[in-house]
Structure formats: structure tokens, C-alpha cells
Amino acid sequence: MIRLHQLGEFVQVIIDKEWTRSCKVGLECVMALMATGIPVHHSRNMMHYKLLTISYEDAMVALGGSANMTKAAWSKNDEFIFHVEGPAAYQAQARFNALLEKCVRTTPRDLTLTKGYRYSSDPTENGLQNTQERALPRRGKTI
């Protein structure tokens, strides 16, 4: 996401604030996103679904399901991942936009690490790197 943002693509992120605050690696990852200027928001409720949409001038693709945005989730875990294009992808983007309207912009002050963090997944391992790299030549927007 950082690389796409640096290339001028539009990137937005919605996080689960409590998960992020309870995982040192997750906290570091979100801080890195914010440090590069990527807008990060959080819901007042638990944010559990995972969604990536890539929009082009004439098309949209959505990927989602149970997989976290980690290398393990996209390469070795048993996960449910769907890939849709066209109208279904636009519906997924509309759902993201509706959720975004209810969210609050995340600031570094929102993200203090809670004691005894409990999660160990590593969101810095980007399992979507190959997908993103294939998308780059088309110069679409990534959200």
C-alpha cells in the first residue's frame, strides 16, 4: 500500500483500532501507513472483514474474505478468499464507502499499545504484493 501511495495511487485504510492497539507489529504497520500520508480511519465498532478494491478507469476488482493482509494468510493458511469484478466489485466499494462515512480519522494519539498484546499475526508481511505489482502497470486506484 505504501508503494502504491508513493506512486501516486489513491489508498485508504480502515482498521480495527483495538486489534491494532493490542499488536505491536500491527501498531507499527499502521504508524508506517500514516507516516507516509495514507489516510487511516477506524470504526467505533469492531472491524473484522477484510477488503481490497482496485479500480481502473473502466473496471473494478474486489478481493476479500477471512484472510488478513499477511503473507501467511495469502500463502499457507486455510482461508476463504473471493475475487469479484464488475457490479459485485462496485457493491463492495460502496460498502467500504458507507463504512468509511461512519469512521473516525485515526491519529497517532489513538494508537497507544495496550498492555499484554495478544495477537501475533504480522501485517507487515504483505501477501498481496504480487497482486499489487500486477495492478501497477494499469495505473488504477487502490483503496
Distance (Å, rounded) from C-alpha 143 to C-alpha 105?
15
Percent of the chain with pLDDT over 90: 28
- pLDDT band at residue 91 under the 50/70/90 scheme: very high
Rounded mean pLDDT, 37-48: 86
| Residue environment code for 63-83, b if the CB has 16+ CB neighbours within 10 A, otherwise e | bbeebbbbbebbeeeeeeeee
Per-residue pLDDT at 84:
95
| Residue environment code for 9-41, b if the CB has 16+ CB neighbours within 10 A, otherwise e | bebbbbbbbebbbbbebbbbbbeebbeeebbbb
Read off the pTM. Answer: 0.69
Looking at the structure, give the CATH architecture of the domain made up of residues 2-142: 2-Layer Sandwich (3.30)
- pLDDT band at residue 103 under the 50/70/90 scheme: very high
Please choose, from the candidates 19, 16, 14, 13, the residue with its C-alpha nearest in 3D space to the C-alpha of residue 113.
19
Per-residue pLDDT at 128:
40
Q: Sketch the domain layout of the chain as residue ranges.
A: 2-142
User: Taking all residues of the chain, what is their mean pLDDT, rounded to a whole number?
Assistant: 79
